[in-house]
Structure 1
Amino acid sequence: MLVKTLLIFLITFFAVSEFLLGTSLIQRPLVLGPLVGLAFGQLELGIIMGATLELAFIGAVSIGAYIPPDMISGTILGTALAIEAGAGPETALALGLPISTVMLALNSVLSAPIMLVFTHLMDKDIEDGNIGKFKFHYFFGGYASFLPRLVVIPCAFYFGSEAVVGLLSQIPEWLQTGINISGGIIPALGFAMLAQMIMDKKIAPFFFIGFFAVQYLSLNTTAIAIFALAYVVLMFFKEKDQKGKVAVVEGGDGLDEF
């Protein structure tokens, strides 16, 4: 258990290091799920759970003042606890969503004030022209603001795994069936939230063409992606050719009226 807890801590530390690497997306469930699965010797199951959680969190992007649920804690703990219990991706999803919501509240209460303190320190370092102290406060403050995750996630796994596993083993069959059904609905809901943000009348026909091609022509997603790529290339060269013709007409020799 101690080795697994240490691995959970290292995965959490890796996930919160995204601020050092720009928007590298290493904190997405699609990355963290397989890492947890690999650490627990269940890589394939970790990939499946990570992909399932990614669908649920696919629209969870911080835009403006909106702060999405904490994907890091939800993915790591949901996947780890589900694997420990010998359960499937539906259980990882059922555990991950409430965990991410609770951690969002905890981060708002604890992480934000810590970050604010170091932000003021960095402002003072800039005013004083002290680059060395600015670098120290930037790196140390970055990880200090993630201290609740670095502490809570490993501790929650270490002290809570046996309780969660015992609780899951007592779930009646009818409730487990409900969890499995909701596990299929929630990823669809997450994808629908993303589609709502990007969908317009120009994109909608392509979405439905792809959907009906999968449904009625029995094409897989790889085939759809290949056809979509070929269509994009075709439209690119067609648009380029049309722009070339317009340029030739606009640059006539002055006798075009005749």
Structure 2
Amino acid sequence: MLSQAILLSVLASLLSIEWMNGHFGLSRPLITGMLTGLVLGDMSQGIIIGATLQLIFMGISGVGAAVPPDQTIGTLIATAFAILTGQGAEIALTLAIPVAVAAQALDIFGRTFNTVFIHMADKFAEKGEYKKLELAHYAGLLVHFVRVSVIVFPAIYFGVDAVQNFIGMIPASVLRGLEVSGGMLPAVGFGMLLTMLNIPYLFPFFFIGFALATFGGFSTIGVTMVAVCIALVMDYYKKSSKASDSNKSSELDSLMED
């Protein structure tokens, strides 16, 4: 069990790093479940559980600086418990969401703590001390590894009760603060996206999507369908307008030649 707990802790850390750096899809529940099953010697069961959890976490996505529930950690621990206990997808469905939310709180804490190394890196960059600048980046990775391991390792080695007891030791005021900061992050994320895009004529589309999701009760798929239809209509009229301008230009050239 010790070797499995260590291997799964390392796997969880690598997959979480992939989620934040590149996001090629390896950290999605389907792949996470498969890799967890591979470590525990039951890949087929891992794929089945991962596919089941993929349906639950399909709509989760980090927008800007927003920190969503940690689907990678939730899937990995839920899949591991399902395989180790032999209870299948039923126990995985029960554990996935609570563990993902708990891991989300620790993720916010880890990201907040890492701002210390960001300021250190800025100072090293100003002084031209690039070796120390690299160490500051690696220190951030170390914090991330500890953040993941502190929930994955005891969960696998000691059981889910250990994780629940650990979360219970965190003061309510700290959890409340993390909850409030986590609730503010989506707004900050959208603000950062609007700032980076800096295309004023696209701003109404953001608010249309927000209104459809918040007041219209549209799901993510519903908003996406509306957005695709609007994009197709706009593309059609732009092409029609260009064709019309091209015809007018050709007619004007013909008249000038005559």
| TM-score relative to the length of structure 2 | 0.64
What is the percentage of aligned positions where both structures have the same residue?
A: 31
- 2:247 maps to which of 241, 249, 254: 249
> In 2, distance between residues paired with 1:132 and 1:126?
10
Q: Please tell me whether the aligned partners of residues 36 and 80 of structure 1 are also in contact (alpha carbons under 8 angstroms).
A: yes
For residue 226 of structure 2, what is the amino acid of its counterpart? D
- 1:78 and 2:104 equivalent? no
The Cα shift of 1:137 comes to 0.9
Equivalent residue for 1:155?
A: 154
Equivalent residue for 1:118?
A: 117
For residue 64 of structure 1, what is the amino acid of its counterpart? G
The Cα shift of 1:20 comes to 7.8
Q: What is the DSSP-based 3-state SS (H/G/I as helix, E as strand, rest coil) of the residue aligned with 1:77?
A: helix
Equivalent residue for 2:12?
A: 12
Q: Which moved more, 1:94-103 or 1:63-72?
A: 63-72
> In 2, distance between residues paired with 1:92 and 1:83?
9
For residue 116 of structure 2, what is the amino acid of its counterpart? V
Equivalent residue for 2:137?
A: 138
Deviations 1:133-172 (A, max 9, x none): 11121123123134121232022111006999xxxxxxxx
Q: What is the DSSP-based 3-state SS (H/G/I as helix, E as strand, rest coil) of the residue aligned with 1:125?
A: helix
The Cα shift of 1:90 comes to 3.3
Q: Please tell me whether the aligned partners of residues 117 and 136 of structure 2 are also in contact (alpha carbons under 8 angstroms).
A: yes
> In 2, distance between residues paired with 1:20 and 1:133?
23
Q: Please tell me whether the aligned partners of residues 5 and 152 of structure 2 are also in contact (alpha carbons under 8 angstroms).
A: no
The Cα shift of 1:242 comes to 7.0
> In 2, distance between residues paired with 1:99 and 1:162?
12
Equivalent residue for 1:209?
A: none
Deviations 1:183-238 (A, max 9, x none): xxxxxxxxx8432442317559xxxxxxxxxxxxxxxxxxxxxxxxxxx9xxxxx9
> In 2, distance between residues paired with 1:112 and 1:25?
21
Q: How many residues align?
A: 198
Higher helix share: 2
> In 2, distance between residues paired with 1:72 and 1:20?
11
Equivalent residue for 2:174?
A: none
Q: What is the DSSP-based 3-state SS (H/G/I as helix, E as strand, rest coil) of the residue aligned with 2:26?
A: coil
Q: Please tell me whether the aligned partners of residues 155 and 161 of structure 2 are also in contact (alpha carbons under 8 angstroms).
A: no
Q: Which runs of 5+ in 2 are unaligned?
A: 164-217
Equivalent residue for 1:51?
A: 51
Cα RMSD between the aligned structures? 3.5
> In 1, distance between residues paired with 2:93 and 2:136?
36
> In 2, distance between residues paired with 1:3 and 1:148?
19
For residue 220 of structure 2, what is the amino acid of its counterpart? L
